[in-house]
Structure 1
């Protein structure tokens, strides 16, 4: 046991340097005035007041939450049937399908997003294929639709894999019992399969919503600078404007939003688990 605790020290040091120290610095910048050093800083809440009293920043925050919610809903609607089909497939086909879904994730997300620029451009693959059927979608690139497509493409594998894992772990004897009791396929799905797969859905929502709400390079590339989200604001404050204090304050606000979202999702999951135990 002592050997294992000693082996954990390098990891603890790494966590302290790479996670805790940056978070402490962000907190110091968020609550101090520009120009102060770390030792003798002047406490202030002006950066938070600036954010919550500026309607433009609040509008960007609302837009970020809305686009993340849309992305999550689309991932659930599209991902659940795919995960259900994979879970019901044979072992060999299931392994192939999971490989197909995870294969794009082996490529850097930035490179995958760049590829969508060529697909969505005016003379790109998507516009060309749609024109064969006489469909004119107009300009897609640098719109909200392009940003949604990019986010769904990048984040939907997390949803599919979580739901598939939950479905594969489900006790198949419950489906047989439901069939023996006279339930049809729809009733079995609604009363057995769907409730038992909700933990996977909740986990998928967590893995999709949280990165989507803070994403900055997908809106930057596919939105062309015309679709500004809260992640772009933080990046702009640090890199372009140079207001690290205000950027840190916005980062703290987003951290609180994410923590509240996780608490809410956790409560929903606990509530569903409680209902499942009660029915059992």
Structure 2
């Protein structure tokens, strides 16, 4: 076993250089400001105070959390039935369906998002369909609806794959036992299938919520700059304004929010697992 530990050394070094070191630099920039020739840097929490005392930034943060929650809920409502259908299909059909879901992910996410600009424009397919149904003055692009569609489209496969993995690993003898005990399909799903798939649901929620709350190019492209989220604020501070310290402070705030969210989700998973086992 000790011999195999040496194989992990390159990964540990890579993780420290690519993950830990950038986070430390961001944390450093977030609590520093330019000083003088004697003290090049001075410790300050003014960047954090600026964020939490400015109602505009708090509004953008709330909007980002809200749209991430909406995206996660929509992905769960759409993804669970799809994953359930895949898990109940034959083994050959499962491979085909999983391939169809993962196939768009082979294309760069930025390219796929650009494609939605044409689909959601006034001359696009969706606008033409809505006009055919009798809706007038249809304008989907550069709205919250467009941003939601783009996020759900890009992050839905993560939800489906995680839930499908949990469902396919489920012990089928438990379903047979529930049937033998007289449980109908609804009772079997509520008492057996869904509780045993919680791990996949939790993983899917994590993989959807975290990138959705920090996404910046989807609202930038589909929102047209009119729908500003916290990811756009961070990008703007680093690239346009040049306020690296303030941008780093916002990045650290988002990192803490993400870690707290993951802890809350994992805690809920453990509680559900204890209830199932009891």
Q: Same fold (TM over 0.5)?
A: yes
Structure 1 residues 36 and 179: CA distance shift in structure 2, 3 A: farther
User: Offset at 1:36?
Assistant: 7.0
Q: How many residues align?
A: 277
Alignment partners' CA distance in 2, 1:81 and 1:135: 30
What's 2:222 paired with?
222
Superimposed CA distance per residue, residues 208-251 of structure 1 (whole angstroms, 9 cap, x where no aligned partner): 00110000000000000000000000000000000000000000
Contact 2:75–2:152 (8 Å) recurs in 1: yes
Kept in 1: contact 2:127–2:139 (CA 8 A): no
CA distance in 1, matches of 2:2, 2:273: 37
CA distance in 1, matches of 2:240, 2:198: 43
Matches within 5 A, 1:111-150: 111-136=111-136, 138-150=138-150
For the 8 Å contact 2:143–2:223, the answer to whether it is kept is yes
The residue aligned with 1:175 is: 175
Distance in 1 between residues matched to 2:164 and 2:61, nearest whole Å = 32
- Normalised to the residue count of structure 1, the TM-score between the two structures is 0.95
Q: Any idea what SS the aligned residue of 1:24 has? A: helix
Aligned to 1:191: 191
TM-superposed deviation, 1:137: 6.5
Distance between the aligned counterparts of 1:75 and 1:36, measured in 2?
51
Q: Is 1:93 aligned to 2:93, yes or no?
A: yes
Q: 1 CA distance for matches of 2:248 and 2:26?
A: 5
- TM-aligned CA deviation for residue 3 of structure 1: 4.7
Match of 1:23 in 2: 23
Query: Would the alpha carbon gap of residues 137 and 71 (structure 1) be closer, same or farther in structure 2, given more than 3 Å must change?
Result: farther
Tell whether the 8 Å contact from 1:31 to 1:45 is kept in structure 2 after alignment.
yes
Instruction: Assess if the C-alpha contact under 8 Å between 2:195 and 2:273 holds in 1.
Output: no
Structure 1: where are the runs of 5+ without partners?
none
3-state DSSP of counterpart to 2:274: helix
SS at match of 1:8: helix
Quote the RMSD (CA, aligned, Å): 1.6
Contact 1:237 1:244 (C-alpha < 8 Å) held by counterparts: yes
- Show the counterpart of 2:41: 41
- Contact (CA 8 Å) 2:175, 2:192: kept in 1 or not? yes
Unaligned runs of 5+ in 2: none
With over 3 angstroms needed to count, the CA separation of the structure-2 counterparts of 1:227 and 1:272, relative to structure 1, is same
Structure 1 Cα separation of the partners of residues 88 and 260 of structure 2: 35
CA distance in 2 between counterparts of 1:11 and 1:156 reads: 29
1:60 alignment counterpart:
60
Conservation of the 8 A alpha-carbon contact between 2:34 and 2:40: no
Contact 2:35 2:42 in 1 (8 A): no
Structure 1 residues 134 and 112, CA, compared in 2 at 3 Å: closer, same or farther? same
1:2 Cα deviation from its structure 2 partner: 5.3
| Superposed CA offset, 1:111-134 (max 9, x none) | 110000010000011112333333
Aligned to 1:161: 161
Q: Which residue of 2 aligns with 1:11?
A: 11
Q: Contact 2:130/2:138 (CA < 8 Å) preserved in 1?
A: no
